[in-house]
Structure 1
Amino acid sequence: MTRSSATPPNGRAGDEPASKKKGAKPQTKLRDGVMKRGNTWSYVIRVKDPETGISKPKWVGGFVTEDEAKEARDEARVKARRGDYVDRNRVTVAEYLDDWIETHAMEIKPLTLKDYKMIIRLYVRPNIGNMRLQAVRPSTITKLYGHLRSKGGKDGKPLSTRSVNHVHAVLRKAFGDAVKVEELLTFNPVERAKRPKHTYTEPGSVWTPDQLRTFLSIARSHRLFAFFHLAAYTGARRGELVNLRWSNVNLDGKVITIAGSVGIIDGERIEGTTKSGRIRVVSLDDETVAVLKAHKARQEADEDTAGDEWQGDKEPHVFTTGLGRPIYPDTVTQLLRDLVKAYNAPAEGDGPLEPLPFARLHDLRHVHATTLLLAGVPVHVVAA
């Protein structure tokens, strides 16, 4: 799909444009299937109807230059002769999204691609998949969001605002490409649709510095304590730390280099670039350097104990299992939950006077940012 589909200049599909019409802008004569009307160029080809066998004219417009219209005309003629011509007036949302995913698969990270496919399969295709792409209006998308928000989740339950916003992000990019890349649409209806209002996380679900210190004291005895300390004191993402190797750690220079990330696709551990695609260097404070040195010594002791059973890589990861295998991202996510749960409800006796609220591992990034801001670090430095 490379060019936009349009009705003929006189508004009736399959007919040649009227040469003159009251109030219409001046237009050039049709020359070899190409003509200019207003500020854009159009072309017409004859396409055989597969059901009736009758050849009918098909108009396609919206080209900026005559050369672009001629190039698209030649391509369409070849496809028409082969029987591969697609009437873009009839392309459905599902058909377009299938082609869009395939076309852009190489540009999207594997984990993100999986999310895109899931969103399209669960939330878009069942609701507007059969609609013609060119028939979608902003109100169509607004109604879709309303339906998803009220009963678009599993078993007809409401879908969260956050999930609806993920649907919006995918559709905005896909329909944006339909305008800018494929030139199938003249505007992006998703940009004009009304999204559900964002609901913010309730206060208290992101830890205060005191609550962070409480958690780190709980985790200190675990062999992956250094992971949580590094996450809180560097703001690095979960996948970035799981991917971290000792070759990326400079304890003498007090820095680590974030060079990649890890995701899980169909149960398989996949390594790739960072979210931004950029490599960055993060400074370490003295306490964090000491924590990493202790962690490394413990890991080396584990290797000595395991002997021939040690399964570490030639370029060893910083955070591994007891036998040296790199850990999965979900391992530390579940460990955080288990440690908090054990602290709040110990096996014997009463729990703490002030239970530790549950928080996501990702929220350690927010604690890190907040702490830096409170310490007077400029906002642009924290953002970087």
Structure 2
Amino acid sequence: MARQHRLFAFFHLAAYTGARRGELLNLRWSDVDLDACEITITGSAAFIDGERIEGTTKTGRTRVVSIDEGTVRVLKEHRRQQAADKLLAGEQWRGTDDHVFTTGWGDPIHPDTVSSLMRLLIKSYNNPKDGPKPAEPLPRARLHDLRHIHATTLLLAGVPVHVVAARLGHVDPSVTLRVYAHVIRAAEASAAEIFAKAIET
């Protein structure tokens, strides 16, 4: 369902980078280097009292996050689709600031839109209008859960905590250790077995 949506690239990038919602909605194409396979998180966007506000990241720091080749392809397709939207809108196009994620008219996207859209996509997948329901329905999830999945997957795969912290934009690895203590404990539980196997082979 999400793959067919015009904002599929947003959800893909959220899952594959662990970036915060506001950070991705603030992202410009000038922050995206598809040749180097990386994006630069420079700030964040939010709505306060009905007004869009753009400022620094939560920590006040800029960070570079690497992306894989599959994500590069997703972003290239998204840019192609955005160019088609702009062509279709013509003089009605309202985009003025190079945002990666916009409405079909070029306006920056409201943060609540992507949060509610994720719930709607899960609901549509679990209860399709046409055809049978999936054998394994998707659980309820929030947009922020994609960030947690990213971190958890990396930590369980053995990626060093300081690397995960850098990707997430945590000011210090101790923050990552505290937030994901349960994941790290699970990884530690298998450490003895991993060591024994390494020594025996």
The TM-score normalised by the length of structure 2 is 0.80
User: Which one of 138, 141, 160 corresponds to residue 356 of structure 1?
Assistant: 138
| The structure with more helix, counted as a fraction of residues | 2
Matched, 1:238 2:21: yes
TM-superposed CA distance for 1:337, in Å, is 0.5
TM-superposed CA distance for 1:352, in Å, is 1.4
Q: Quote the residue 1:338 is aligned against.
A: 120
Matched, 1:324 2:106: yes
Q: Quote the residue 1:90 is aligned against.
A: none
1:189-213 CA-to-partner distances (Å, cap 9, x unmatched) read xxxxxxxxxxxxxxxxxxxxxxxxx
1:71-114 CA-to-partner distances (Å, cap 9, x unmatched) read xxxxxxxxxxxxxxxxxxxxxxxxxxxxxxxxxxxxxxxxxxxx
Structure 2 unaligned regions, length at least 5: 167-201
Matched, 1:307 2:80: no
1:202-217 alignment to 2 at 5 Å?
A: none
Q: Distance in 2 between matches of 1:294 and 1:327?
A: 19
Q: Quote the residue 1:282 is aligned against.
A: 65
Q: Quote the residue 1:191 is aligned against.
A: none
| Corresponding letter in the other structure for 2:45 | V
Matched, 1:383 2:155: no
1:117-196 alignment to 2 at 5 Å?
A: none
1:6-54 CA-to-partner distances (Å, cap 9, x unmatched) read xxxxxxxxxxxxxxxxxxxxxxxxxxxxxxxxxxxxxxxxxxxxxxxxx
1:219-238 CA-to-partner distances (Å, cap 9, x unmatched) read 11111000000000000000
1:56-71 alignment to 2 at 5 Å?
A: none
TM-superposed CA distance for 1:349, in Å, is 4.9
CA 300–348 in structure 1, closer or farther in 2 if over 3 Å, else same: closer
Q: Distance in 1 between matches of 2:44 and 2:131?
A: 41
Q: Distance in 2 between matches of 1:288 and 1:256?
A: 11
Q: Quote the residue 2:153 is aligned against.
A: 371
TM-superposed CA distance for 1:355, in Å, is 1.1
| Corresponding letter in the other structure for 1:246 | W
Structure 1 unaligned regions, length at least 5: 1-217
Aligned to 2:4, the other structure's residue is in SS state coil
Q: Distance in 2 between matches of 1:351 and 1:371?
A: 28
Q: Distance in 1 between matches of 2:23 and 2:162?
A: 21
TM-superposed CA distance for 1:370, in Å, is 1.4
TM-superposed CA distance for 1:335, in Å, is 0.7
Q: Which one has more relative contact order, counting CA pairs under 8 Å at least 6 apart?
A: 2
1:258-306 CA-to-partner distances (Å, cap 9, x unmatched) read 0010111112211111111111111111111110011001101111111
Q: Distance in 2 between matches of 1:248 and 1:349?
A: 41
Matched, 1:256 2:39: yes
The TM-score normalised by the length of structure 1 is 0.42
1:30-69 alignment to 2 at 5 Å?
A: none
Identity, in percent, stands at 70
TM-superposed CA distance for 1:376, in Å, is 2.1
TM-superposed CA distance for 1:348, in Å, is 4.0
Q: Distance in 1 between matches of 2:102 and 2:60?
A: 24
| Corresponding letter in the other structure for 1:272 | G
Q: Could you say what the CA RMSD is over the residues aligned between the two structures, in angstroms?
A: 1.1
CA 258–345 in structure 1, closer or farther in 2 if over 3 Å, else same: same
TM-superposed CA distance for 1:326, in Å, is 0.8
Instruction: Count matched residues.
Output: 166
Q: Distance in 1 between matches of 2:50 and 2:133?
A: 36
Q: Distance in 2 between matches of 1:341 and 1:322?
A: 23
| Structure of greater Rg | 1
TM-superposed CA distance for 1:374, in Å, is 2.7
Q: Distance in 2 between matches of 1:268 and 1:345?
A: 35
Q: Quote the residue 2:5 is aligned against.
A: 222
Aligned to 1:311, the other structure's residue is in SS state coil
TM-superposed CA distance for 1:375, in Å, is 2.5
